[in-house]
Amino acid sequence: MPKRIIPLTDLKVQRAKPQDKPISLFDGGGLYLYVTPSGGKLWRFKYRFAGKERKISFGSYPEISLLNARQRRDDARRLLANNVDPGALRKAQKQAKIEDIETFEVIAREWFNKFKPTWEESHSSRVLSRLEKNVFPYIGEKPIAQIKAPELLGVLRRLEARGILHSAHNIRGICGQIFRYAVATGRAERDPSADLRGALPPVKTINRAAITDPLRVGELLRAIDCYKGSFVVQCALKFAPLVFVRPGELRKAEWPEIDLEKAEWNIPAHKMKMKQPHLVPLSKQAIEILTELKKLTGEGQYVFPGRTSARPMSDNAILAALRNMGFEKTEMSGHGFRAMARTILDEVLQVRPDLIEHQLAHAVRDPLGRAYNRTQHLNERRKMMQTWADYLDGLKEGARVLPFKAMK
């Protein structure tokens, strides 16, 4: 027998206290009050349409009273009875009002749709999710030209109170881009986010964990050789220290980017942090790994596919494997292979710093201030990558590998 829902009262809504986790107080008919840990009280309506569960927001309490929230619920249920999705209708209405009411949400969605094609899918999804969850419920319906710095700070303070300071800084930056877009298109006079510099505590930077001691590197490489998990993940673990690219670039590697005959991996610009194409010379050891792996995954798109060949390996696969092998998060991370290579190539093998930085795909410029192109110093970098791979083999075998005075 389904649990009977006791309707809310004004007093119960008023006295609802925040807890460590968000709580939902149901009123009936799909309407409920969502109470955040920071004390926010948001009216939400849960319903089903076309076989899928959906949710829409009715605003926050006390701006929207219990009576008003029930009226909005009843309006939404009448739409459903006529086979109309209230959430889709609301979005359409907001888009239709773009000429009349220049609200923050309307301008934000216009900005988002304009720049979305230039972003990676993961980035665009993250941006929209942060706006929908953390910004639109509070200032989304306000005319963008009327929003002042204290109102925006109130949005960010909610995030700070939840202990996600990094997200607060990130959302301030996103909002700043939206306000500047509004200024540029004549819908606002200025960007109030600029007035909030210094209003939030700084984020404490945490260095990504990396093993840089050669003896410990040898232990890590031997552990990888003995890894008992997925063969694809093991190959990714073996490949990562040889190429020291960013974790996202590694897991999204595609077979058409790999030229085994030329021993090169050409990463297109849209996959790179700096939005410049990157060329990775492949050592003999890297070629051996790819040649063996191609027998398994070569018919698909991705070099390191996930559970289905249509998607790349999970961004957590490398981290989980490192933890399973006994390497703690304070000791080694997926990004740590880059710091490992940079440190040892510089301090032990004494490779020219500009070659290392170029291979790390950092911004490197020549003496005239021009950016090096993707093939700059290719022969030297190819020698460096083979020298590095051979050095790692020596560490893995437990040999006493003496530092090179210079790379020949």
372 classed as catalytic: yes
CATH 1.10.443.10 fits 214-396, yes or no: yes
Q: Single out the catalytic residue among 246, 252, 358, 381.
A: 246
Domain ranges of the chain: 10-94, 101-196, 214-396
246 classed as catalytic: yes
Predicted pLDDT of residue 367: 44
Q: Single out the catalytic residue among 48, 55, 222, 273.
A: 273
273 classed as catalytic: yes
Region at 369 (left for phi over 0; alpha for psi -120 to 50; beta for the rest): left
Q: Single out the catalytic residue among 72, 109, 158, 335.
A: 335
Predicted pLDDT of residue 399: 57
Mean pLDDT by 10 residues, the chain (408 residues): 75 90 91 89 91 89 90 91 84 60 89 85 83 92 92 92 84 92 90 90 70 89 90 93 91 93 91 85 95 92 88 88 86 88 88 85 56 72 93 82 45
Predicted pLDDT of residue 404: 42
302 classed as catalytic: no
Q: Do 79 and 86 touch, CB atoms closer than 8 A?
A: yes
362 classed as catalytic: yes
Tracing tokens 């170029």 back to the chain, one arrives at 358
C-alpha separations of 201 from 7, 138, 197, 330 in Å: 41, 22, 10, 24
142, amino acid identity? K
Cβ neighbour number for residue 11 with a 10 Å cutoff = 9
Predicted pLDDT of residue 105: 92
Beta bridge partners of 254: 302
311 classed as catalytic: no
Region at 362 (left for phi over 0; alpha for psi -120 to 50; beta for the rest): beta
Instruction: Please tell me the number of Cα atoms within 13 Å of 384 on its side-chain side.
Output: 28
Predicted pLDDT of residue 408: 42
How far is Cα 317 from Cα 251, in angstroms, rounded to an integer?
Answer: 9
Cis before 62? omega within 30 = yes
Predicted pLDDT of residue 397: 87
Q: Single out the catalytic residue among 372, 377, 382, 383.
A: 372
Tracing tokens 């060329």 back to the chain, one arrives at 279
- Homologous superfamily (CATH) of 10-94 is Integrase, DNA-binding domain (3.30.160.390)
Predicted pLDDT of residue 346: 87
Tracing tokens 């927001």 back to the chain, one arrives at 57
Predicted pLDDT of residue 94: 64
Cβ neighbour number for residue 101 with a 10 Å cutoff = 14
Predicted pLDDT of residue 371: 52
Predicted pLDDT of residue 370: 47
Output the pTM of the full model: 0.52
Q: Single out the catalytic residue among 114, 284, 362, 365.
A: 362
CATH 1.10.150.130 fits 101-196, yes or no: yes
